[in-house]
Amino acid sequence: MKVLVINAGSSSLKYQLYDMKDESVLAKGLVERIGMDSSIVTHKPAGLAEVSEVSEILEHTTAVRKVLSLLTDKEHGVIGSVDEIEAVGHRVVHGGEYFGESALVDGDVKTKIRQLFDLAPLHNPASMMGIKAAESNMPHVPQVVVFDTAFHQSMPENAYLYAIPRVLYKKHKVRRYGAHGTSHEFVSKAAAEFLDRPIEELKIISCHIGNGASLTAVQEGRSIDTSMGMTPLEGLMMGTRSGDLDPAIVPYVMNKEELTVNEVNSMLNKHSGLLAISGISSDMREITEGMQKGDANSKLAFEMYEYRLRKYIGSYAAVMNGVDVIVFTAGVGENSVVLRKKVCENLTYLGVELDEELNEIRSGEPRRISTANSKVQVLVVPTNEELVIARDTNRIVQGLKS
Ligand code: ADP
């Protein structure tokens, strides 16, 4: 079966076409600047040259039409006809308490995604545009939605509730939902497979550290706590997000600086984190470079980032009464040799012993970076959220046939 995976943002749409026979990617690409004066489409067919073009794409339906025409193009295409696409899988950020797993799109599912617009005002409306765009271009093809929050629905009440009046949970569903669930689930399963151990026997701390960053405590294969909260602002220090802070800072700063709700929200989400402390960049590569050149602000930004990460690892070891495996993934986790080294150097009390040579090796495969004697296995596992979406979509749509 061929599955088209769509990840729709408010002005962008990423896609990958999978052949589920061997889980190969036939083509992938990105439509950027949807609704702006000149949209850019980048299409990368496997084994063929990448094509990039500027065209007018005012909304998501046109974007999907453009993607389908590229996929079937005589020169740059990889399939003979759109009919070869048997299912579409969509990434949806927020599934609230409705979705603990992926779902086949129907009227009820769409209503629920709409009801969650309040909880993910930037993301869920964009996902909905992606779903509608695929439906109008491929009305007879089944659509599946895969949620970033679903894996974390297994968290117990004591982890997902905030210690605030409970009426806020009852009335407005204020609670921890987490994010990056698709990635945490994928890398924790891949880690168990790599170690050839049943996941049910393992206590895993999964560290998804990219532009956004979150940690998850995975016990018996289930998420039991995660660092992102009701929104992706809570938890670790990130590229431009503050992560944890004293909530009383918000009204204090709003008052002193005469900021509006939107302004303070933007400050915490877009102008904080690595960017605010370094004053240079939100990109860990530039921070590391700055630090190595002796820039004091970059060094401080790196140290704060690493310190907070280590604090969360310690707290999740406490939550699970131990840890067997620590997994690093996403842009920073997969690539930053120096960050992994700094974190692991200070986890010897848990029994972590880093193998510095293994830590230096770069490969796109899951690998161990701890020594043979290390009590805790430390792994690097490249994440692949699109593959999870394609697999779930394939499974659900195959189920319809049987
Ligand atoms: P997103 O959260 O947007 O999916 P990624 O997981 O792709 O992001 O992570 C992007 C981040 O990964 C970049 O901002 C950059 O800081 C970091 N990164 C990528 N390569 C390296 C590297 N070699 N060393 C350190 N950080 C890196």
Q: What does the block give as tokens for 26? A: 């036939």
Q: The domain that contains 81 carries what CATH number?
A: 3.30.420.40
What average pLDDT does the chain have? Answer: 96
Ligand 1 probe mutation, 184, 237, 335, 359, most atoms within 8 A of CB = 335
Kindly give the distance from the C-alpha atom of residue 331 to the centroid of ligand 1, in angstroms, as a whole number. 3
Last residue of a domain, one of 147, 174, 209: 147
- Percentage of residues in the chain having pLDDT higher than 90: 96
Closest C-alpha among 32, 7, 30, 2 to residue 17 = 2
pLDDT at 3: 98
| Residue 9 assigned as binding residue | no
Has residue 64 been placed in a domain?
A: yes
Which residue segment(s) compose the domain that 104 sits in? 2-147
Q: What is the pLDDT of residues 357-393, one digit of tens each?
A: 999 999 899 999 999 999 999 999 999 999 999 999 9
210 and 353 in a common domain? yes
Q: What does the block give as tokens for 305? A: 């980032």
Q: Is residue 118 over pLDDT 90?
A: no
| Segment 80-95 mean pLDDT | 97
Kindly give the distance from the C-alpha atom of residue 137 to the centroid of ligand 1, in angstroms, as a whole number. 34
Q: Is residue 168 over pLDDT 90?
A: yes
77 and 11 in a common domain? yes
Ligand 1 binding pocket, CB closer than 6 Å: 210-212, 239, 283-285, 288, 330-332, 335-336
| Residue 294 assigned as binding residue | no
| Segment 140-158 mean pLDDT | 98
351 and 244 in a common domain? yes
329 and 235 in a common domain? yes
pLDDT at 103: 98
204 and 74 in a common domain? no
349 and 211 in a common domain? yes
Nearest atom in ligand 1 to the alpha carbon of residue 330 is 6
**Residue where the block lists tokens 């907070």:** 308
| Residue 284 assigned as binding residue | yes
Has residue 336 been placed in a domain?
A: yes
pLDDT at 366: 97
pLDDT at 120: 86
pLDDT at 271: 96
Has residue 256 been placed in a domain?
A: yes
Q: Structurally, how many domains does the chain consist of?
A: 2
Ligand 1 probe mutation, 209, 237, 332, 338, most atoms within 8 A of CB = 332
Q: Is residue 401 over pLDDT 90?
A: no
| Residue 385 assigned as binding residue | yes
211 and 126 in a common domain? no
228 and 108 in a common domain? no
String of DSSP letters for 249-291: HHHHHHHHHT--HHHHHHHHHHS-HHHHHHSS-S-HHHHHHHH
pLDDT at 381: 98
Higher pLDDT, 120 or 137: 137
Helix (H, G, I), strand (E, B) or coil at 102: coil
134 and 25 in a common domain? yes
Contacts 24+ apart (CB under 8 A), 384-387: 384/186, 385/91, 385/182, 385/183, 385/186, 386/5, 386/7, 386/16, 386/18, 386/25, 386/28, 387/18, 387/23, 387/186
Has residue 207 been placed in a domain?
A: yes
Q: Is residue 227 over pLDDT 90?
A: yes
Q: Is residue 144 over pLDDT 90?
A: yes
Has residue 272 been placed in a domain?
A: yes
Contacts 24+ apart (CB under 8 A), 68-72: 68/137, 68/138, 70/27, 70/29, 70/41, 70/43, 71/4, 71/17, 71/26, 71/27
Q: Is residue 122 over pLDDT 90?
A: no
| Segment 326-331 mean pLDDT | 97
Kindly give the distance from the C-alpha atom of residue 161 to the centroid of ligand 1, in angstroms, as a whole number. 31
Ligand 1 probe mutation, 184, 208, 211, most atoms within 8 A of CB = 211
pLDDT at 78: 97
221 and 112 in a common domain? no
| Segment 164-184 mean pLDDT | 97
Q: What is the pLDDT of residues 56-80, one digit of tens each?
A: 999 999 999 999 999 999 999 999 9
Q: Which of 148, 225, 324, 392 is the catalytic position?
A: 148
Residue bearing the CA closest to ligand 1, atom 14: 283
Query: Does the annotation mark 22 as catalytic?
Result: no
45 strand-pairing partners: 27
Residue bearing the CA closest to ligand 1, atom 21: 335
| Band (127; pLDDT cuts 50, 70, 90) | very high
| Band (20; pLDDT cuts 50, 70, 90) | very high
210 and 120 in a common domain? no
Has residue 6 been placed in a domain?
A: yes
Has residue 189 been placed in a domain?
A: no
Q: Is residue 328 over pLDDT 90?
A: yes
| Residue 100 assigned as binding residue | no
Kindly give the distance from the C-alpha atom of residue 50 to the centroid of ligand 1, in angstroms, as a whole number. 22
Kindly give the distance from the C-alpha atom of residue 332 to the centroid of ligand 1, in angstroms, as a whole number. 5
Has residue 400 been placed in a domain?
A: no
217 and 321 in a common domain? yes
